[in-house]
């Protein structure tokens, strides 16, 4: 029922009215000169199951959904060929060290305070596609500090000899 109503109104209202997907805290890391790619991070929530399949940005030649995987003790990133599935119960957190949107073929260096226009493409089980427009703010990496815990994520322990 709900779906029918949504479908009926979508034709008449701007995309925001049928935005079943909500995106927040969109940010990207600054890059150094000559750096060709950058990660974008965000929180995603949805009211209906859907899949994030990719994106588009005027500042990049390609925008992919990436995950990090451990391979031979080395963290590597990999494109999610089938996209990132989202459910209402479980949105997605795109954060450093995990899932991220990859800007590939950056047209310019990203510096503090820049904003990166970004379109995100979603596809639901019925094959309906929708686009969400957002902007990523370029800012330094900040570790989430829920409950005041110290961000202690050390990949390497220095050994004194
Ligand atoms: Cu990546």
Ligand 1 centroid – CA 18 distance (Å): 29
Q: Per-residue pLDDT for the chain (161 aa), expressed as one digit of tens each?
A: 445 445 544 454 444 335 479 999 999 999 999 999 999 999 999 999 999 999 999 999 999 999 999 889 998 999 999 999 999 998 999 999 999 999 999 999 999 999 999 999 999 888 889 999 999 999 987 655 554 444 444 444 445 45
Domain boundaries, the chain: 2-140
**Architecture, CATH, for domain 2-140:** Sandwich (2.60)
Q: How close is the Cα of 40 to the center of ligand 1, in Å? A: 9
pTM of the model: 0.75
Side-chain half-sphere exposure of 85, counting CA atoms within 13 A: 5
Determine the Cα–Cα distance for residues 98 and 41; give it in Å rounded to an integer: 9
Q: What is the CA angle 156-68-95, rounded to 5?
A: 90
Asked whether 17 and 132 are in contact (CB, 8 A), the reply is: no
Cα 17 to middle of ligand 1, angstroms: 31
Ligand 1 geometric centre to CA of 95 (Å): 11
> How many A from CA of 126 to the centre of ligand 1?
28
């Amino acid at each position: 029922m709900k779906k029918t109503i949504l479908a009926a109104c979508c034709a008449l209202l701007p995309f925001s009215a049928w935005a079943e997907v909500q995106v927040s805290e969109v940010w990207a890391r600054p890059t150094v000169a000559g750096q060709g790619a950058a990660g974008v991070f965000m929180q995603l929530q949805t009211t209906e199951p859907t899949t994030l399949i990719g994106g588009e940005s005027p500042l990049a030649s390609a925008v992919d959904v990436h995950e990090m995987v451990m391979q031979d003790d080395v963290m590597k990133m990999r494109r999610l060929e089938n996209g990132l599935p989202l459910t209402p119960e479980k949105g997605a957190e795109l954060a450093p060290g995990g899932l991220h949107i990859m800007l590939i073929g950056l047209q310019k260096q990203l510096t503090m305070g820049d904003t990166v226009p970004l379109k995100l493409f979603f596809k639901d089980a019925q094959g309906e596609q929708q686009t969400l427009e957002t902007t990523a703010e370029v800012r330094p990496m900040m570790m989430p500090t829920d409950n005041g815990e110290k961000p202690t994520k050390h990949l390497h322990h220095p050994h004194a000899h």
